[in-house]
């Protein structure tokens, strides 16, 4: 007697096999049902835990054809090797090995000076390159209204601005209020200069010195700390002690993260 297969599905309607990919820590995938995208941080007991760029975790079942890897459907499987903690960027985000810099967005982040730009690059540089965000500096905020007007912020070209010592009621605060809108965001930290956003403990000092009113703040800091009165050299000394977000005050961290979100979130 001839035997027949019970599967009567036509070949053209059968699902094609997809690659099986080990869920190694740091692998970035998307769960298509929710659109959640994140890096693998743990794989155990039939589940995988993903972490998004904001540090939030979410657990998904390891189902066949359950994820997208670079736009392709894949089946995640448990890795054969022991789990390894994913590498982190200086900002605390999960590092993406081999990731190429994205083509620059039309949106921009402006900061007040060169030191601000160098500090942002030191901590958030890897994240900004992946997101395609360019940071430029203004050398003060007096010309900010004309700069924002010329930039013409819009839905596809958002603008974020970081201002030093942004205190309500000051001239800088009024300028910031005048240019803030749906597609332009101005935020400021409370420090006299971005130097103060570096934790004193990271520099081996008890606290930032109090500089008498009317004296140049940076020069006064150098004098009080016994450093040569060369602010360029002093800044390089400070910057060299910044290795990650842990060396910065929370007020600056929050400002920069808000700006990155503003120019990158659709």
Q: Is residue 59 part of a domain?
A: yes
Q: Which residues contact 89 (CB under 8 A, 6 or more apart)?
A: 95, 124, 126, 127
Q: Is residue 158 part of a domain?
A: yes
Q: Is residue 202 part of a domain?
A: no
Which of 43-57, 147-161, 174-188, 207-221 is the least confident region? 43-57
User: Can you list the positions of beta strands (E) in 70-172?
Assistant: 72-77, 108-111, 134-137, 159-163
Model pLDDT, residue 14:
55
Average pLDDT of the residues of the chain: 86
Model pLDDT, residue 210:
94
Give me the mean pLDDT over the 73-90 stretch: 75
37-64: b (≥16 Cβ within 10 Å) or e = ebbbbbbeeeebbbbebeeeeeebebee
Q: What is the DSSP letter of 158?
A: -
The answer to whether residues 129 and 259 belong to one domain is yes
Instruction: Tell me the CATH number at 177.
Output: 3.40.50
Model pLDDT, residue 161:
94
The answer to whether residues 58 and 114 belong to one domain is no
The answer to whether residues 113 and 167 belong to one domain is yes
Q: Is residue 93 part of a domain?
A: no
Residue 149 belongs to domain spanning:
108-197+239-264
Higher pLDDT among residues 198 and 213, named by residue: 198
Confidence of residue 6 (pLDDT cuts 50, 70, 90): low
Q: Is residue 7 part of a domain?
A: no
96-134: b (≥16 Cβ within 10 Å) or e = beeeeeeeeeebbbbbbbebbbbbbbbbbebbbbbbebe
Q: Is residue 248 part of a domain?
A: yes
Confidence of residue 22 (pLDDT cuts 50, 70, 90): very high
The total of structural domains in the chain comes to 2
How many angstroms separate the Cα of 121 from the Cα of each of 5, 54, 98? 63, 18, 19
Predicted TM-score (pTM) of this structure: 0.65
Give me the mean pLDDT over the 83-94 stretch: 67
The answer to whether residues 21 and 149 belong to one domain is no
Cα-only R_g, the chain: 25
Q: Is residue 160 part of a domain?
A: yes
pLDDT tens sequence across 216-237: 999 999 999 999 999 999 999 9
Q: Is residue 81 part of a domain?
A: no
């Amino acid at each position: 007697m001839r035997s027949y297969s019970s599967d009567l599905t036509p070949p053209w309607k059968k699902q094609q096999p997809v690659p099986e990919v080990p869920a190694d820590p740091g692998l970035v995938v998307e769960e298509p049902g929710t659109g959640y995208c994140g890096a693998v941080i743990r794989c155990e007991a039939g589940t995988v835990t993903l972490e998004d760029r904001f540090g939030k975790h979410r657990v998904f079942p390891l189902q066949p054809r359950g994820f997208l890897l670079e736009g392709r459907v894949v089946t995640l499987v448990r890795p054969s090797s022991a789990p390894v903690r994913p590498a982190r960027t200086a900002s605390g985000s999960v590092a993406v090995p081999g990731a190429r810099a994205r083509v620059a967005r039309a949106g921009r982040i402006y900061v007040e000076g060169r030191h601000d730009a160098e500090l942002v690059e030191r901590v958030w540089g890897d994240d900004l390159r992946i997101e395609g965000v360019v940071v430029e500096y203004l050398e003060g905020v007096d010309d900010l209204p004309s700069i924002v007007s010329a930039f013409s912020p819009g839905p596809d070209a958002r603008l974020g601005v970081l201002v030093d010592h942004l205190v309500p009621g000051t001239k800088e605060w009024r300028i910031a209020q005048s240019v803030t809108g749906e597609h332009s965001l101005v935020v400021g930290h409370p420090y006299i200069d971005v130097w103060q956003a570096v934790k004193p403990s990271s520099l081996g000092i008890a606290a930032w010195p109090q500089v008498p009113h009317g004296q140049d703040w940076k020069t006064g800091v150098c004098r009080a700390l016994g450093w040569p009165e060369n602010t360029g050299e002093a800044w390089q000394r400070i910057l060299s002690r910044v290795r990650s977000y842990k060396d910065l005050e929370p007020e600056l961290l929050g400002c920069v993260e808000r700006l990155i979100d503003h120019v990158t979130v659709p």
